Amino acid sequence: MKHFTLLTLALALVAGAGAAGPFEGDPIPAAVQATGDFELGQTAPLLDHAMLGVDGERHSIASEMGERGILVVFSCNTCPFVVGNGEKSEGWEGRYMETAARLRDQGFSMILVNSNEAKREGVDSYKAMQEHAEQRGYRIPYLVDENHALADAFGAMKTPHVYLLDANGTLVYRGAIDDNVNSAAEVRERYVLSAVKDLVRGRPVGISETPAVGCSIKRVKA
């Protein structure tokens, strides 16, 4: 497995995010800390934890698991790293459905998880999630993570923050979707898709961890 320092990757990602100008909001803030974390090579927690989707049905990682694995994306409705920031950045959300389609072709599924409990009465309410999913053409589950239980168990801190699990629920990659939030056309490293390619070819994932660059997950204080 290739070894890359997270500091080097973080500097590269942050530099890319700032190339088109500063973001509004809190791109890399301090946040209420997650209560848990699991390591690469370990089985993900709460695989059977059911969460309400914008379709009115309850879904879990286990129920949505693809033949070869699943991509869990912690996301939200308003973070500029997700939805973009005008001419400054496209954001990553516009790549969600294409990523999901490419994963599906390789036997992987994808879910979106909203853990912003502190915003549940406002911009990340269930109704707002339903409206957002319809407006953005989501064709994959978009789930309410009540009391940020899944985010806490995973150690997720940002939106977006992605976790790729194999068919056994083992963590094989975590971090960012790719290396350029500003422009899909300027992406040089497609971290998630490269990890999937490695898995399909039966070889170790070359880059198994990158920094998750985004807004803080809006947790409620205990």
Q: How confident is the model at residue 25 (pLDDT cuts 50, 70, 90)?
A: very low
Q: Do 159 and 145 form a contact (C-beta atoms < 8 A)?
A: no
Give mean pLDDT, residues 147-152.
Answer: 97
Provide the pLDDT confidence category of residue 139 given band limits of 50, 70 and 90: very high
Find the mean pLDDT for residues 176-188. 97
Q: What's the average model confidence in pLDDT over 161-173?
A: 98
**pLDDT computed for residue 37 by the predictor:** 72
Residues 55-71, mean pLDDT to the nearest whole number: 98
Where do we find the tokens 């693809």?
66
Average pLDDT over residues 143-153: 97
Main-chain phi, psi angles of 150, to 5 degrees: -70, -40
Strands (E), 35-128: 51-53, 58-59, 69-75, 108-114
Give the pLDDT confidence of 189-199 residue by residue, as tens digits: 999 999 999 99
What whole-number distance in Å separates Cα of residue 198 and Cα of residue 117?
35
What pLDDT score was predicted for residue 55?
A: 98
- CATH class of the domain comprising 6-21+34-214: alpha beta
- What pLDDT score was predicted for residue 38? 85
Q: Please tell me the predicted confidence (pLDDT) of residue 36.
A: 65
* Domain ranges for the chain: 6-21+34-214
- Does the predicted TM-score (pTM) go above 0.95? no
